[in-house]
Structure formats: C-alpha cells, structure tokens
C-alpha cells in the first residue's frame, strides 16, 4: 500500500499533487516469483484508505465538506440542519428543541437506524452535477447532491481502490483529538 501525504496545499493544486502519486499507483504492478508453485504472478497495489481531517477530505473525495447540507464523508443520506438564514449545516441526528422548521429540517434519526451509504446514488448524483449548464445551476446541484467535483480517485481502476467516496476517513481527529478529549473530560 502507498501513503500519500498532503500538507497545507491550496485547493487549486491539490489534484495536481494527488495525480502524481495516483498515476504511479495506477501504473505500478509487481511481478512476483512464487517458488512453491513454480510460476510468476502479478500483484497490484491497492489504495485502501485516504486519510485527512474534515476540511482536507474535500480534496480527496470531491464532496462539499463537513459544513455542507450533505456533509457526510461516506455519502450517506443524512442531511444537515442549519439555523434559519445561516449558511453552515451541522450533521445533527436529533432535531434541537424549539427548532423552527426550514428546508433543512428532518426528524430525529436514532443511532440504531443510521442510513447506509450508496455508491450508485453517488454516481447518479455525480452525473447530474456534471450535466449542469451554467455556474448557478452547478451551485444549485452542489447543494442538492453534496458533490462539488469528481474525485481524482475515480480515475483509478476498480481493482486498485476500495470505493469512491468510501475510501476516505477523518481518522486523525477521531483517534488523536476527539476521543481522548471527550474521555478525559468524562473521567
């Protein structure tokens, strides 16, 4: 497996940096001699996981980000809630008390009934986004679908990557910041 590191890169150049590494992964194959079977087999590297913090994930998966109406990094169907007149959406499963009904309002979602991710819906919505006729329609489609651009990982062959957008995760904040911070305060 190969590791790609993205430091502080501007949005304009992120795909350029990713492209170089992913091009190498796409072209790489290893011919390995298996002496026990007396034959050569070909091994291909697999991109199993792309990790970044929540803002950095937008570079990897092409989604609108954690403050978007559809901010899930794995592209589940949960829509965010936002204050009336506000521009940021928040991934709240429970509707706040005394919440005024808006277009982003949804009923409470129990933890035992979380919606699953749908790769087919992702590809349908990506096609819908790409068929935008102008910039205002593109922005409207971004809000509706939660996708801002095709992920550069789509260019890899299926056998070289697990899935798009499911190959990315915000493991840095989960393991390094969020869980210890919560647990230390609880203890």
- CA 167, CA 61: separation in Å to the nearest integer? 8
Domain map (residue ranges) of the chain: 11-77+115-186, 79-114
Element (H, E) at 33: strand 30-34
Cα distance between residue 75 and residue 7, in whole Å: 24
Cα separation, 162 vs 1, in Å, equals 12
The most distant pair of C-alpha atoms in the chain lies apart, rounded to whole Å, by: 71
Q: Evaluate whether 11 touches 55 at the Cβ level (below 8 Å).
A: no
Task: Tell me whether residue 177 is exposed, middle or buried, using C-beta atoms within 10 angstroms of its C-beta: 0 to 12, 13 to 18, 19 or more.
Answer: exposed
C-alpha distances out from residue 185 to 171, 176, 179, Å: 20, 15, 10
State how far the Cα of 50 lies from the Cα of 55, in Å rounded to an integer.
13
Question: What's the pLDDT score for residue 101?
Answer: 59
- pLDDT the model gives residue 160: 59
pLDDT score at 157: 62
pLDDT at 134: 93
* Residue-level pLDDT, tens digit, the chain, 187 residues: 344 444 444 556 778 877 888 888 788 878 888 889 999 988 877 776 667 777 777 777 788 887 788 777 777 777 777 777 777 887 777 776 776 655 556 677 777 777 777 778 888 989 999 999 999 999 999 888 888 888 877 777 665 565 666 655 555 555 555 666 666 777 6
């Amino acid at each position: 497996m190969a590791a790609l590191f993205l430091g502080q890169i501007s949005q304009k150049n992120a795909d350029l940096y990713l492209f170089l590494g992913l091009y190498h992964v796409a072209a790489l194959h290893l011919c390995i001699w298996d002496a026990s079977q007396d034959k050569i087999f070909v091994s291909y590297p697999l991109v199993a996981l792309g990790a970044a913090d929540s803002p950095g994930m937008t570079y990897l998966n092409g989604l609108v980000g954690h403050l978007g109406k559809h901010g899930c990094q794995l592209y589940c169907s949960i829509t965010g809630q936002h204050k009336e007149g506000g521009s940021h959406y928040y991934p709240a499963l429970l509707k706040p008390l005394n919440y005024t009904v808006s277009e982003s309002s949804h009923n409470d979602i129990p933890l035992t009934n979380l919606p699953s991710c749908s790769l087919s819906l992702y590809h349908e919505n990506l096609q819908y986004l790409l068929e935008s006729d102008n910039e205002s329609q593109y922005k409207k489609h971004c809000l509706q679908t939660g996708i801002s651009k095709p992920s550069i990982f789509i260019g890899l062959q299926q056998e070289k990557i697990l899935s798009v957008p499911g190959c990315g995760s915000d493991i840095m904040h989960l393991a390094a910041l969020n869980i210890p911070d919560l647990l230390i305060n609880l203890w």
